[in-house]
Each structure stands twice: as structure tokens, then as C-alpha cells.
Amino acid sequence: MITLQKLAKVFNTKDGAVTAVDDIDLTIDQGEIFGVIGYSGAGKSTLIRMLNMLEAPSEGTVEVAGKPMHTLKNRQLREARQEIGMIFQHFNLLWSRTVAENIAFPLEIKGLSKSEQKERVDELIKLVGLEGRGGSYPSQLSGGQKQRVGIARALANNPKVLLCDEATSALDPKTTDSILDLLVDINKKLGLTIVLITHEMHVIRKICHRVAVMENGKIVEQGDVLDIFRRPRQEMTKEFVKQVTEPEETEEALNHLFGEEGIGQVLQLTFVGGETQRPLITDVIRQFEVDISILQGKISQTQHGSYGSLYISMRGDKNTVKEAVDYIRAQQVEVEVIHGG
């Protein structure tokens, strides 16, 4: 559905040339939800804006839905953009228009009749869960409702691709989850390819099939979300994974425990898929003469299955502890000794 080859973007500033996107190759499959994550300045916003040519690349090629976007001009580009919807962090609604009129705006530009516009707008209002709010103005809506209008408007022309530029970062956590659930629902109902950029790993974890991690204009790591959670290779990726698996309170609690006498080895166990359901700790205690204390644990769901992280303290004879750890690893569970190894 989307193919990027040798894509680069250089901005010429008073302080010299700034490379925002640097030699990126990327393929996004039809019907998948693909996430791009990175901190501010990583180049992700520039990257997503080059998919619909809001930013023209300095080098490289952009192909979307079979069309070479980087070669299109004027009318051809306008027609190609109708197959690419986009939603924004701050909604970009027309404040003097009602919900229905905002959604109808792309249909007016396309030249549809009033009756055709109304039929399509009614469909979209129902799809995004805004029944009864068609006559409201943006100032009368909550943040989540405004973003639902933005999503409906982006879907007006039945696009093949939906681009999401930090679409949930202005929303509270509960509203964020509701918008993400809506995007998953749209993806399933319409078979829509969704590309989203974010700096929040929670967003990636919740809805994305695959993810690319950006740093300094480059993609430093990419893969299936579950694989990235299980074995992050780059330090940047590990930082993002910790947003979900190791909240700040976990680190503080563990650091406090490290100072306690007799804490033993502190291990981080990582479970993926069906392994999260196994009574592994019970099995270890039955087979080995070790004492185990569960310090903290969490299971998260991704689009490809569950991911669990468990912190335990293990005490016992040194050789027995090693045998127990080897046994855990033999059960296809990742083990990292984070204290006392």
C-alpha cells in the first residue's frame, strides 16, 4: 500500500541545512495499522507529511496506493490526496461550521450534491459515534468529540489510507483509549490502512500491528509490535518499551528494595502470548528449593497477543538459583538479572 525508498528531507535554515528525514526505506502493507514513534525532533511529523506531499521530499520516492506521489502535480496530486485522509493533534476544524458541515466540507469540494452529502455525512456521524451532534459547533464539543469529527471528515471521500499526526496527544488517557478503539474499529470495518505517529508507546501497544522507531531522522528499529516489546535492540526502543512495562513507580520501588538485606537475586521475566497464562512460578517452587517473592507484574495486550513483565526476588543456594533461572529460560521466557547477579 505504501512504499518509501531512499526518502530524505533537508530544510535550509539561517543556521545551515537541517536533515529532518534521512535515507528511509519503508513498506506498509494494505490494511495494517503502522506506528511511527520518536521523541520531538526525530523527524516523524515530516515523514508522515511527505506521504501526502504536504512536504515534498528532497530525495527519494513515495508510492501510495500504486501512485508515485513524488511525481504528481496539480490536478493529479489533488486526486491522489482524496485517497489519503489525515487527522491532526489539534483537530483543525472550521469553528464557524457545525459538525455536519465540517464533515461535509471535503464532499463540497468534490462537487457532490446536497442529498449525496447528507447521506454520506449521516453515515459518518453514526460510524464515529456522534449521533445527535450534527448541529453542534466545535466549541460545544469535548476534545474527544472534536477528534471524532476530524476522523469523520478524513473518511468523507472513502480514502484508502488514514494518516494520524499525534492524533491523541492533546487528549486525556480515557479519551485517548476511546479514540484508539474507534481507529481499530474503522480499520476492521473498512480495511483501511492507518499510519500514525506518536511519542507514546501506549498508543503503539494498544492498536499497532507494526512499528518503526525514529531517531535523528532515521529509522533505527522496526518490526512487529510484540517482537519489539519482547526484544528491543536499540537503547531508544528500550526507553519507549519501558514507558509501558516499567512505570516510574516500578523503578522507584525496586531501587528501594535493592538496599534491603537478603533480597537475593531480582529478576525481570518477560512473557509473550500463551506464556502469560502459565503457572510458571508455581512450577519453579515445586521443582527447586528456592524462595520466590513477587515484587511487581503487569500484562498488556497488543494487536498480536499479550505481553507480560514480572519482577521477582529469588533466594536460595547459588547453584540451585542458577538451575531455576535456566529452567525458566528453557520455558521460552526471557530472563534478565537486574540485581544480585
User: Is residue 230 located within the same domain as residue 323?
Assistant: no
With residue 126 as reference, give the H or E element that holds it: helix 114-127
SS3 263: coil
The string of pLDDT tens digits covering residues 157-167 is: 999 999 999 98
Judge whether 248 lies within some domain: no
Give the whole-angstrom CA distance, residue 103 versus residue 316: 65
The string of pLDDT tens digits covering residues 279-332 is: 788 889 999 999 998 887 777 767 766 677 788 889 999 999 999 999 998 888
pTM for the model: 0.81
User: Is residue 185 located within the same domain as residue 122?
Assistant: yes
Closest CA to 225 of 212, 242, 238: 212
Of 180, 209, 243, the one marking the end of a domain is: 243
The string of pLDDT tens digits covering residues 172-183 is: 989 999 999 999
Domains in the chain: how many in total?
Answer: 2
2: left (phi over 0), alpha (psi -120 to 50) or beta: beta
Of 243, 276, 299, the one marking the end of a domain is: 243
User: Is residue 16 located within the same domain as residue 40?
Assistant: yes
Residue 141 backbone phi and psi in degrees, to 5: -110, 155
User: Is residue 301 located within the same domain as residue 155?
Assistant: no
| End-to-end Cα spacing for the chain | 48
User: Is residue 184 located within the same domain as residue 292?
Assistant: no
Domain with 233, as residue range(s), is 2-243
Which CATH number does the domain housing residue 195 bear?
3.40.50.300
